[in-house]
Structure 1
């Protein structure tokens, strides 16, 4: 069969003007490959941006990978877009672009806008579609309420390829649909409000965890088709569970079929390695000053929010984008026009990204992984901020884990690690992360970071989780942490689910379930998560006993809860704590309860007395269980 390339275009002059000015945020509707009908003939339209190419051809099985038989047409407007229609092709066709560069190179490139790709180590693109019959209308109508900053936000972070494997063939990945059948009832039972998927865009190098992306618009074919992923998201939504995607606009790998020197020039990256090469990850940094690159990246964000109904984007490695000297020696970077180390082009891009996302998708959230003290990351751009909805609270994570790693006998010397966070807690809309980065590369699992014997390790971890879920901000826990995974996370195998048959792990799993329930049931724990009005220290200075007490407050005075932590293995009888209101205070949750494999030292309801204590006119006397946290509320 003959497959002539015919002149055909989906671009209007307005599209081109938007693209060239960096304002076209739906390029996925124009570039790439898609089945169309032209003049009654069915086929595939191809369009690719390669402004410095001498010629561009579509090659594939259909033409024996012959670069001379199906050359695309360059647009007349100098946009750098090559396009054309090939009759007779359809869904499932495997293809690449062969680009003849201005320097004489012949490059074989995957389609940057492809919706699907061959499984690694193969690298070709596949003509596909994002058509899907969604059944999540109820979720989408009410998503603004689920995603609001004054609602519970408890995230389960996971890596698709290592959450669970086929028990009969541990080498086989579960596909998205198989994951859905197992994940949805599990997350619903455990009570998490959102799932965060580590990058599921196409990446050739599996050990990169998905952070070295070559196909920004293609879901990883390791786990199934676009429709398979949509099914997973659909099922989560139907069960009132939101979905966050890890998104990586900070860098891309140098694989020959990817974005690197796409048309023989530094098209998506910088020519100068001092701006365009990342020394830590041996990858390439996007040129945020190039209008077409900004259109590409913001279009990619829109694509996942639009076509896949994603509820939020966690933006990876924001700090590496903000600083020109990030992880560089003095002679390895170029200052900005004012002599500073701020990447002004990246700052502009991040602001524009957030403004565009929130203007078109006001009911989603963008979340920054940003580890420095850059001001206003989660503040509106009109107020000088970067415009993110939330920011990971990395300082809290490091301080808290360092505190809990200490043997209780030494904790009195590190008391400030638990209190320092409130000095800056309300500068940003913080999310508290216990993420994948903390359980790899010799850092040990969360359970094995804890000191002491087995009982103490589990008691410490339960106390840590209670502190996390009752402190300010939103919450994120990496998979396996909820049941006490003992081994470090490995992408090459499933989590050790068999551990949940043993009492300590089963107890911890139930405790996390009950913590999520408490978090969602008590408005004081989420209504003012980012406001100093929602938090008050009652006892922050008892370093001798390693005891902490604080209030969480909601919109109604009656919703106030009291949290008391005893972070030594000593039972403290008659420990007096000030309370703001007279009456009886009942225990809502005790991490030392026997049902959680605790020691069973139970504090019963306590009636307040008119004894002034801790700057409160009323106080209660408590029995504090060892290595534990207790949550109380006035009846």
Structure 2
């Protein structure tokens, strides 16, 4: 008997790339249209998408829907009416009683007792006193609670937007009521989302040459102009969400709504972001929603005395490697806290998007601990996957992209989960980009273990191009991870101790410095042009920052020597760091003109192991790399797709970048039709290709 059943699942049309529209089912299986290898996992994808839809409906059906749900910071924490009336609310279901205490009431637990509702939310309203708010601006506050065992505890408010530290008194952070008379008013509109994303990753605290913590104001005045000059169009700010331990690099967050006070005031941070916008720079926040610091006195841990307020209880709520707490993404109030946190940074501080830290930990029940991903699709489904973590990523990305048309979200994920950077309606996680984390590891490994005359061109090209089709990646040769203590910057790996003695124009250009400078430029350019749809550089590495990055801690006698950026070596006109800085600018400016990052993936026509030459075309440009340490090639023949006249538009051997000036920058190269083809291209040109040199050529007219 023939079945007459018809599949009535709704469908939608999706343009997946220019001119290519596909029809997908609206049940989370759209990814299988892009990748047939996902067909065996359709049921898993439907289940995953159904779980997201379930939670989305729960939130949309709540009072005020998704819009109200994500404005939790206007309900919880401290909010002040125009007449000075203060409202304070806190979710603490395990508490029996709660009181608001602080300098304003001499810390009297009986003076301002809070009322509890049926959901475990405590609240209190304080009328103005003599026409002013009852709590003075910048005065200390806490919530005090009693527990079922009659124990009294004191906690920093979970939604507090200002915490400060007085090391002369205690290393523990204190919450303060932040209500300045003059609030910062933004002057500049947000920049539009760029087609090609070029990110400058930065940390405010290390952004001074002096051995101390830098400030927001110093970053605004001294660093933003440098970033704009280099030609980046986005900044990724690290360690902004308050963290009690400076050496954690911002990844042990204690107060999620408080910008770190060690760099200045919230108004200072707003001024930084506003000034960046005025320079055409988007500002992304390195957001840490994958875990939280386990501190009790100045963190979220055991907030209401229980082990499970914001986190999972027991072992499920602890990350063994990071020694931190793991959020319960399947809890309504926890979702409200995290989703509101995203909106808070977007609306109150005018950030333009997020780099989500530790996404691998969020997506999998094993959190990536001791787990080596092989790329087998079974690793991305079943018991390995944390359904609630996946749902939160989908929910966050769905909301952000619905609410903010120019928002950018980036995933730090080593697993390569299929669909991470596809829209949620297709069954993806909804991120715009993921970091190409294998790329910097490859460069470090090559420099540490393989002589560059034995570098395998095919392997390098494979690492740089091994990404999922139609899922955007951020390419980078080194980020903050590679610079941390225990490792060294790429420049230091190549030039090491000679950076102390032979980086002056007044000294001989030694073979070590010559090699290091040449490879530094080549590694960055091939990563930039071949490795992704966006590019990232960590602060200072653009000019070959020496040594490594290490924060003051017990193990180094609390030294700031390595927790700073040595702008002095860049600004000294006699030193050679300036050449790398100009090269970095040359890359960004040339990309802005030709747009290879937002062009289709490169067509690699040559990977010659003997010559150590890589050639490819992308964005209408021809890229040539000769990694050979000694061999230069006159009249080197390379294939091109388009006939015509070509000229060099970027040349790492140019003397302005400390090259040897072996390439005529005014030279013209004319194509010749290939008989059959040359390197699978219909035309060829002949170019002088010096050793350890990278060239970018474009067709003229």
Q: Alignment partner of 2:455: what SS?
A: helix
Q: Mean alpha-carbon deviation: is it higher for 396-405 or for 302-311?
A: 396-405
DSSP 3-state at the match of 2:681: coil
Aligned to 1:105: 151
Structure 2 residue aligned with 1:435: 479
Equivalent position of 1:11 in the other structure? none
1:534-575: per-residue Cα shift (whole Å, max 9, x none)?
x211213x111111000003xxxxxx1000011122222221
1:231 and 2:290 are equivalent in the alignment: no
Change (3 A) 1:352 1:97: same
Inter-partner Cα distance in structure 2 for 1:109 and 1:18: 29
Residue 516 of structure 1 is aligned with which of 588, 592, 601? 588
Rounded to whole Å, the distance in 2 between the matches of 1:78 and 1:410 is 65
Q: Distance in 1 between matches of 2:606 and 2:165?
A: 56
For the Cα contact (< 8 Å) 2:438–2:463, is it kept in 1? no
Runs of 4+ aligned residues of structure 1 deviating over 6 Å after TM superposition are 19-23
Which residue of 2 is the match for residue 6 of structure 1? none
Question: Which residue does the alignment assign to 1:606?
Answer: 669
- Tell whether 2:312 aligns with 1:267: no
Cα displacement (A) at 1:90:
3.4
Label 1:286 to 1:443 Cα distance change in 2 as closer, same or farther (>3 A): same
Matched, 1:279 2:301: no
Query: CA separation in 1, counterparts of 2:370 and 2:475?
Result: 31
In the TM superposition, residue 579 of structure 1 has moved relative to its aligned partner by: 1.2
Deviation at 1:506, TM superposition (A): 0.9
- Residue 41 of structure 2 is matched in structure 1 by none
Instruction: Look up the match of 2:568.
Output: 498
Structure 2 CA distance for aligned equivalents of residues 286 and 20 of structure 1: 23
Distance 1:403 1:425, change over 3 A: farther
Alpha carbons of structure 1 residues 477 and 565: separation in structure 2 relative to 1, 3 Å: same
User: What is residue 352 of structure 1 aligned with on the other side?
Assistant: 395
Corresponding position of 1:630: 695
- SS in structure 2 of the partner of residue 346 of structure 1: helix
- Compute the displacement of 1:596 (Å): 0.6
* Contact 2:446/2:452, CA 8 A, preserved across alignment: no
Q: Which digits, 9 at most, give the CA deviation of each residue in 1:500-520, with x for residues without a partner?
A: 224421100111011111010
Structure-2 residue corresponding to 1:240: 280
Superposition deviation, residue 69 in structure 1:
1.9
Partner SS, residue 144 of structure 2: strand
User: Bigger shift: 226-235 or 492-501?
Assistant: 492-501
Which residue of structure 1 aligns with residue 351 of structure 2? 310
Report what 2:598 is aligned to. Answer: 527
Which of 636, 650, 655 aligns to 1:594? It is 655
Deviations 1:584-630 (A, max 9, x none): 21000011111111122215322222344212232111111221210
The Cα shift of 1:329 comes to 7.4
Task: Check if 1:24 corresponds to 2:96.
Answer: no
CA distance in 2, matches of 1:96, 1:36: 20
- Where 1:124 maps in the other structure, the secondary structure is strand
The worse-fitting range, judged by mean Cα deviation, of 64-73 and 358-367 is 64-73
Paired residue for 1:136?
A: 188
Task: Choose which of 561, 564, 577 in structure 1 pairs with 2:624.
Answer: 564
* Distance in structure 1 (CA, Å) of the matches to 2:415 and 2:60: 38
Pick aligned residue for 2:682 from 608, 617, 621 = 617
Q: Which residue of 1 aligns with 2:116?
A: 74
Q: Matched residue of 1:466: which SS?
A: helix
Q: 1:547 is matched with which residue?
A: 613
Determine if contact 2:97/2:146 at 8 Å carries over to the other structure. Answer: yes
SS of residue in 1 equivalent to 2:185:
coil
Task: Give, in whole Å, the separation in 2 of the partners of 1:238 and 1:23.
Answer: 30
**Counterpart of 1:8?**
none
1:9 is matched with which residue? Answer: none
TM-score, structure 1 length as denominator? 0.88
Counterpart CA distance in 1 for 2:642 and 2:208 is 48
Task: Give the equivalent residue in structure 2 for 1:537.
Answer: 604
Following superposition, the deviation at residue 582 of structure 1 comes to 2.0
How far apart are 1:85 and its partner, in Å?
A: 2.1
Distance 2:686 2:585 in 1: 29
Task: Output the TM-score relative to the length of structure 2.
Answer: 0.80
1:201 corresponds to: 241
Aligned to 1:470: 529
CA distance in 2, matches of 1:329, 1:222: 35
Quote the offset at 1:439 in angstroms: 1.0
Q: Deviations over 1:137-171 (max 9, x none)?
A: 3xx3xx3xx314xx121111011111115x4xx33
Partner of 1:7: none
Deviates more, 1:414-423 or 1:263-272: 414-423
Structure 1: how far apart are the matches of 2:237 and 2:637? 44
Secondary structure of the corresponding residue to residue 585 of structure 2:
helix
Question: For residues 43-54 of structure 1, what are the structure 2 equivalents within 5 Å?
Answer: 43-54=85-96
In the alignment, the residues of structure 1 paired with residue 151 and residue 61 of structure 2 have an alpha-carbon distance, to the nearest angstrom, of 27
Which sections of structure 1, spanning at least 5 residues, go unmatched? 1-13, 331-335, 554-559
RMSD of aligned alpha carbons = 2.4
Tell whether 2:78 aligns with 1:36: no
User: Hey, what's the Cα distance between the residues in 1 that align with 2:204 and 2:397?
Assistant: 27
Q: Secondary structure at the match of 1:249?
A: coil
Measured at CA, do residues 519 and 574 of structure 1 come closer, stay the same or move farther in structure 2, by a change above 3 Å?
same
SS at 1:84 equivalent? strand
Instruction: Please state if 1:125 is matched with 2:168.
Output: no
Task: Tell me, yes or no, if the aligned pair for 2:424 and 2:430 is still in contact at 8 Å.
Answer: yes
In structure 2, the residue matched to 1:4 is: none
> How many aligned residue pairs are there?
586
Residues 265-294 of structure 1, C-alpha deviations (whole Å, 9 max, x = no match): 110011121x11001110000001111101
Q: State the partner residue of 2:543.
A: 483
Partner of residue 324 from structure 1, selected from 338, 347, 365: 365
| Preserved contact between residue 467 and residue 473 of structure 2 (Cα < 8 Å) | no
SS at match of 1:231: helix
**Number of the residue aligned with 1:557:** none
> 1:388-427 counterparts in 2 under 5 A?
388-403=431-446, 405=448, 406-412=450-456, 415-427=458-470
**Alpha-carbon spacing, 1:18–1:281, altered in 2? closer, same or farther (3 Å):** farther
Quote how far apart the aligned CAs of 1:407 are.
Answer: 1.8
Is the 8 Å Cα contact of residues 354 and 386 (structure 1) preserved in structure 2?
A: yes
CA distance in 2, matches of 1:16, 1:69: 38
The answer as to whether partners of 1:73 and 1:84 remain within 8 angstroms in 2 is no
Matched position secondary structure for 1:56: strand
